[in-house]
Amino acid sequence: QVQLVQSGAEVKKPGASVKISCKTSGYSFTSYYIHWVRQAPGQGLEWMAKFKPGGDTPTYAQKFQGRVTVTKDTTTTTAYIELSSLKSEDTAIYYCAKTLDYFDVSGIAFWGQGTLVIVSS
Amino acid sequence: IVMTQTPLSLSVTPGQSASMSCKSSQSLLHSDGRTYLYWYLQKPGQSPQLLIYEASNRFSGVPARFSGSGSGTDFTLKISRVEAEDIGIYYCMQSIQLSVTFGQGTKVEIK
């Protein structure tokens, strides 16, 4: 079965960077898109980025351009997101998610358990 | 694309039906004939879970009491007989554009 298991909670100081991992299994890692979505405390879902580990150019939300990078390790079928220049407003749960189908307009079907990132001095 | 959900909250008696709306600022009908509108439920303390894909298709394992309808820019999620386990926040999402967007959510509570 499809599984996305994320790394543990992080506490970072303003200005630092954070890198979150998303270990996948149960499907062909390079064939489906991975999305990253975050949720600030008590708020809704905010989309950040998507990419296809098989080689597509990542697409980033304009809000995070220049501050976010998604990468992957195909040997371990793990996706990563790194967010730099952290601010208190980046405090949120970060989710990785896999698409339902393999084409770029396919929506999200499976979600990781989420990673809490707290940004505080 | 801006996704607008109404109402923002809904209080429902178990066994009664519930309905919520999602409107997109642009058509979600793709040239391939599919409509890229999805519905998710986020139960308290959990990750979102997919209920409906491409506007009207129930995802694997989703109870038949959930149904999605609509086309173009207007969509509806209906729960035919609400159960206590259906509480949470319901989100719609579009993926037709490169940048995905979510609605602000409809919170469903049990009376």
Residues in chain B: 111
Predicted confidence (pLDDT) per residue in A99-118, tens digit: 999 999 999 999 999 999 99
Contacts A110 to B, Cβ<8 Å: 50
Contacts B38 to A, Cβ<8 Å: 107-108
What are the DSSP calls for chain B, one per residue?
--EEEE-SEEEE-TTS-EEEEEEESS--B-TTS-B-EEEEEE-TTS--EEEEETTTEEPTT--TTEEEEEETTEEEEEESS--GGG-EEEEEEE-SSSS-EE---EEEEE-
Distance CA B49, CA B61 (A): 11
B37: nearest CA partner in chain A: A107
Contacts B101 to A, Cβ<8 Å: 47
Predicted confidence (pLDDT) per residue in B75-85, tens digit: 999 999 999 99
Predicted confidence (pLDDT) per residue in B10-63, tens digit: 999 999 999 999 999 999 999 999 999 999 999 999 999 999 999 999 999 999
A35/B100 CB distance under 8 A: yes
B36/A107 CB distance under 8 A: yes
Tokens standing for residue B97: 């554009």
A95/B95 CB distance under 8 A: no
Cis peptide leading into residue A14 (ω within 30°): no
Distance CA A83, CA A92 (A): 12
Any CB–CB contact under 8 A between B30 and chain A? yes
What are the DSSP calls for A2-48, one per residue?
-EEEE---EEE-TT--EEEEEEEESS-TTTS-EEEEEE-TT---EEE
